[in-house]
Chain A
């Protein structure tokens, strides 16, 4: 396969590809490459942080908590849980840079922005994150049914409060509006009826699902023209029967993996395929083996998300962060903090990542983390912060980045390509005419400087 196409595939199905690896793969056919990409992600490795200190808490039986912990201790546990969620964020970011099961990880990122959820309970949100990961390339119907039963989702969209006597429609509404069909493809009555089907869906503290029979509405419901004593799973089955569901998902997938601008012929092609059995693996395989995926107009046109940008840099030059907290800082300054979606609609993406400030920051990012830069910009305070914490009064200014850069390993690999080859490898977008002239006129002293220069170009912001 052509090296340009290999890069495109790996940037979209993953976060990029190293120069050596790409040279080794150049002799393979497209089918062989895509096959190996998929087989590398056939396994599922859960993402986990150490939760042993919470064991007693999460395994306590209902009603036991009050006798086990006083108010102050419970507040402490909640605080510790929030700290652990940050730890999970770091673990996730590090996993992306490690480069294993890349396709599965890329899909997990995608699903996390579709089935948006947020929870400060570390056990539940970790479980949720791994549900996304384990179903990422599986059956979409099973996936949605699992998500609907997750404690984090139940809390986030108030299904916990959805009981027979007073149904709460929030989950049913977002399920259809944001997760499966899109606005205008169901009626308010559909929402009311389906909310009844999800009543009584509950969970135990340890994260397992169970049905509160007394709170479940077993009665007859009419949903999308069908009548029956539906429960939540039945509702989901009926939703899947609407081709619009396949179309909705395929459109989102197209925007994320192929081009922010839709080609409706292609999305219809995908929808028809997906509608047959809602097999995510098959769908993604079809995309990556389609000729149109490799069309010039799809290459280098997507604005990298902050996480894609950061991970891409780290895949080229190994960087380890001594202060993990700085990973959080980078995400916040660029507007994407994993596990902290802005709202249930998720991150809009593409041009929305970019404003005057985030763009300047992103262009500065490579020199910041590769050249031991320091930065005099602070991330925003949190609404629950004290005045001092909000303004980071006690922090040293400016902030020095503490990274260890694996320059030796980098130079071993990247000494081989010529400057022109290096440029072609890192910047898949066609360079602006003027920028090309600028680069060719540069007197680069060494390869380290050159790589930072290339990564500091606006063109590098695209993939």
Chain B
């Protein structure tokens, strides 16, 4: 890429930064952003215990298997005759009542793997459990779309596999100002200013310069676009709250990013589960409440789909340390303003039909959720991105 092309692209990418916010918000100036939908993926890292999140409070087996850690009926917000929310999810109940929440139960995949790393890779790459893909499904989505790195943003300082494509990757931007500053260090900037496409025939060197150019323009685009919009809402003061706040600012400032990925940690509750998980669920729900309100305020909620998942659920039977060990199938939350199926999408977990480890058996393959999102929401060829065909669901 020669300098002229680079400058041109750089300017185009950040043209919206020079537009007054009110003009953008009014929709007078169409950037082709309208109607283009986006997804926010939230991974509850560590393996969130689904059974203590969406509690089968009428099921005797639940309490029988969890004498010390079963959530008491008085600590549950009853939703249906069979299932209730852990009371720390109270803010989610409001979303539920507004029809903004769909809970898909028993999501997993065949031959489940109970290692954090392996199962996270499986969820992030959409591979079968006996295959190893070296690219993530969002990375492949970005590639399929022919997008720039900022098409997919991870709210962290480094990229997870989910955002890595074969030759194109998303970009990690936890703090756009920091990212921008790091891309403006003297040698980085100067080297790019002087760079000339001289076709040395050194493939890898050309590749490095290409990535540098993209990194610099991505960092600039993200920073200059998002700095104009500052959220006015009161997010909980914790790292997850900050991740959501930054995401809201990205979305509401008009960034053309299609997918955001956030990883919230702490869910590996092998010991003392109840206290620890209750707190985490409260942090999650509290931040989500503000996030949704923020998007609604800026009229971006209807075009945003939020998917919350975990790399696995946990064992039905509690362990000796008032916690649970790694399990399998789990629930997935879909949050959005345009859901076709609201509330509980499918049947509750079947505690009578467990696998030989005493773990839940999935009835929905998580890739069905992905293929639905890719095809119906992001309007992309799901078969290419997922490298396979999966039955779609009807929640959007």
Residues of A within 8 A of B (CB): 260-261, 297, 300-303, 332-333, 335, 342-345, 348, 350-352, 354-361, 363-364, 367, 376-391, 393, 429-430, 432-435, 437-438, 453, 456-459, 461-462
- Chain B contacts of A378 at CB under 8 A? 157
Known interface pairs A354-B207, A380-B263, A387-B265; 15 further A-B residue pairs with C-beta atoms within 8 A, sorted by A's residue number: A356-B211, A363-B185, A377-B157, A380-B156, A383-B47, A383-B311, A387-B280, A391-B265, A393-B239, A432-B195, A432-B200, A435-B191, A435-B195, A458-B209, A462-B205
The chain A residue sitting closest to B201, CB to CB, is A297
Residue in A302, A433, A457 with the greatest tally of chain B CB atoms within 10 Å = A433
List B residues 162-186 near A (Cβ within 8 Å).
163-164, 167, 169-172, 174-175, 178, 182-183, 185
Mark interface residues in B201-230 (1 if CB within 8 Å of A CB, else 0). 111110111011011001100000000000
Among B77-85, B112-120, B247-255, the stretch in contact with A: B112-120
Point out the residue from A358, A360, A391, A432 that lies within 8 Å of B205, measured CB to CB: A432
CA distance A394 to B159 in the complex (A): 23
11 contacts between A and B (CB under 8 A): A297-B201, A302-B204, A363-B212, A383-B45, A385-B265, A385-B268, A390-B266, A430-B202, A433-B196, A435-B191, A458-B205
Q: Is B74 in the interface zone, CB < 8 Å from A? A: no
Q: Please state if A379 and B157 are interface contacts (CB–CB under 8 Å).
A: yes
Chain B residues within 8 Å of A343, by CB: 117-118, 121, 132
Return chain B residues, CB-CB under 8 Å to A453: 187
Distance to closest chain A CB from B174 (angstroms) = 8
B158 within 8 A of A: yes
Alpha-carbon gap, A344 to B160, bound state (A): 17
4 shortest A-B CB distances, which residue pairs?
A390-B265, A387-B266, A383-B116, A356-B215
- Cβ B46 vs Cβ A357 within 8 A: no
Check A356–B208 contact: CB distance below 8 A: no
A residues in contact with B161, CB < 8 Å: 342
Q: How far is the CA of A295 from the CA of B1 in the complex (A)?
A: 27
Give min CB distance, B234 to chain A, whole Å.
Answer: 20
Interface pair A354/B191, CB less than 8 Å apart: no
Is residue B149 contacting chain A, with contact meaning CB distance below 8 A?
yes
Say yes or no: A430 contacts B200, CB within 8 Å. yes
Find chain A residues with CB under 8 A from B22 CB: none
- Asked if B350 is at the interface of the complex by the 8 Å CB criterion, the answer is no
B215 adjacent to A385 (CB under 8 Å) = no
- Contact A461-B208, Cβ < 8 Å, known A387-B280, A434-B194: yes
Query: Which one of B46, B134, B205 lies within 8 Å of A345 (CB-CB)?
Result: B134
Minimal Cβ-Cβ distance residue in B for A333: B158
**Complex Cα gap A41–B286 (Å):** 60
- Would you call B191 and A348 a contact (CB within 8 A)? no
Taking CB atoms and an 8 Å cut-off, the chain B residues in 91-144 that contact chain A are: 116-118, 120-121, 132, 134
Residues in chain B near residue A354, CB distance under 8 A: 207-208, 211
Contact across chains for B211 and A359 when beta carbons are under 8 A apart = yes
**Partner pick for B190 among A332, A393, A438, CB 8 A cutoff:** A438
Given A376-B178, A387-B265, A456-B187: A432 in contact with B209 (beta carbons within 8 A): yes
B266 partner residues in chain A, CB cutoff 8 A: 385-388, 390
Interface size on B, residues (CB 8 A): 66
Task: Pick the residue among A363, A380, A384 that contacts B158 (CB under 8 A).
Answer: A380
Contact between A380 and B160, CB atoms less than 8 A apart:
yes
Which of A300, A359, A435, A462 makes the CB contact (< 8 A) with B194? A435
B29 at interface by CB-CB < 8 Å:
no
Contact B183 A303 (CB under 8 A): no
B270: nearest residue on chain A (CB-CB)?
A: A384
Complexed CA–CA distance, A332 and B114 (Å): 23
B211 touches A355 (CB 8 A): yes
The answer to whether B132 and A345 have CB atoms under 8 Å apart is: yes
Question: Is the C-beta of B198 less than 8 angstroms from some C-beta in chain A?
Answer: yes
Q: In the complex, what distance in Å separates the CA atom of A382 from the CA atom of B372?
A: 30
Closest CB in chain B relative to A347 CB, distance in Å: 9
A350 to B280, CA, bound (A): 39
Residues on A with C-beta less than 8 A from B265 are: 381-383, 385-387, 389-391
> In the complex, are the beta carbons of B194 and A437 less than 8 A apart?
yes
Asked whether A342 lies within 8 Å of B191 as measured between CB atoms, the reply is no
A376 — which chain B residues lie within 8 A by C-beta?
Answer: 175, 178
A391 and B239 within 8 A (CB)? yes
Cα distance A355–B149 when bound, in Å?
9
Shortest distance between the CB of B258 and any CB in chain A (Å): 16
User: How many angstroms from the CA of A388 to the CA of B121 in the assembled complex?
Assistant: 23
Taking the nearest CB of chain B, how far is it from the CB of A170, in angstroms?
9
Residues in A with CB closer than 8 Å to B178 are 376-377
Cβ of B283 within 8 Å of any chain A Cβ, yes or no, is: yes
- Tell whether, in the assembled complex, residue B45 and residue A358 are in contact, meaning their CB atoms are under 8 Å apart: no
Is B280 within 8 A of A356, CB to CB? no
B46 contacts A458, CB within 8 Å? no
- B161: min CB distance to chain A, Å: 8
Given contacts A383-B311, A458-B191, contact A355 B169 (CB under 8 A): yes
B211 touches A457 (CB 8 A): no
Partner of B183, one of A301, A332, A360, A435: A360
CB nearest neighbor in B for A347 = B134
Min Cβ gap B331→A in Å is 19
How far apart sit A24 and B219, CA to CA, in the bound complex (Å)? Answer: 46
Q: How far is the CA of A462 from the CA of B172 in the complex (A)?
A: 23
Are B171 and A355 in contact (CB-based, < 8 A)?
Answer: yes
B342 to chain A, nearest CB (A): 30
- In the bound assembly, the distance between CA atoms of A302 and B188 in angstroms comes to 21
> A462 near B116 (CB under 8 angstroms)?
no
Q: For residue B175, which residue of chain A has the nearest CB?
A: A376
A459 near B205: Cβ-Cβ < 8 Å: yes
Residues of chain B within 8 A of A260, CB atoms compared:
204
Check B172 against A344 for contact (C-beta < 8 Å).
Answer: no
Residues on the B chain within 8 Å of A348, using CB: 134
User: Closest CB of chain A to B300's CB: distance in Å?
Assistant: 25
Residues in A whose Cβ lies below 8 Å from that of B134 = 345, 348, 352
Q: Digit string of B236-266 for contact with A (CB within 8 Å is 1, else 0)?
A: 0011100000000000000000000001011
> Does B158 lie within 8 Å of A379, measured CB to CB?
yes
- B218 to chain A: closest CB distance in Å? 6
Residues of B within 8 A of A367 (CB): 185
Q: Once bound together, how far apart are the Cα atoms of A378 and B196, in whole Å?
A: 33
Residues A387 and B187 in contact, CB atoms below 8 Å apart: no
In the assembled complex, how far is the CB of residue B32 from the closest CB belonging to chain A, in whole angstroms? 24
Query: Quick check: A458 and B212 within 8 Å, CB to CB?
Result: yes
A391: chain B residues at CB < 8 Å are 238-240, 265
Among B149, B195, B205, B279, which residue has the most Cβ atoms of chain A within 10 A?
B205
Contact residues of B between 43 and 62, Cβ < 8 Å to A: 45-47
Query: Given A333-B158, A429-B205, A458-B205, do A383 and B46 touch, yes or no (CB 8 Å)?
Result: yes
Say whether, besides A345-B132, A391-B239, A357 and B204 are in contact (CB < 8 Å). Answer: no
Give complex CA distance A275, B146 in Å: 44
Most buried by A among B161, B187, B214: B187
Pairwise interchain contact B204-A351, C-beta atoms closer than 8 A = yes
Q: How far is the CB of B352 from chain A (nearest CB, A)?
A: 26
Within the complex, the shortest CB–CB distance from B330 to chain A, in Å, comes to 14
Q: Which of A357, A358, A387, A388 has the most CB of B within 10 A?
A: A357
Contact in complex: A359, B205 (CB < 8 Å): no
Q: B196 to A356, Cβ gap below 8 A?
A: no
Query: A423 → chain B, closest Cβ, in Å?
Result: 14
- The distance in angstroms between the C-alpha atoms of A261 and B207, with both chains bound, is 14
Chain B neighbourhood of A361, CB < 8 A: 158
- Cβ B171 vs Cβ A356 within 8 A: yes
* Set of chain A residues within 8 Å of B149, measured between Cβ atoms: 355-356
Residues of A within 8 A of B121 (CB): 342-343
A358 touches B158 (CB 8 A): yes
Expressed in whole angstroms, the Cα–Cα distance for A429 and B266 within the complex equals: 45
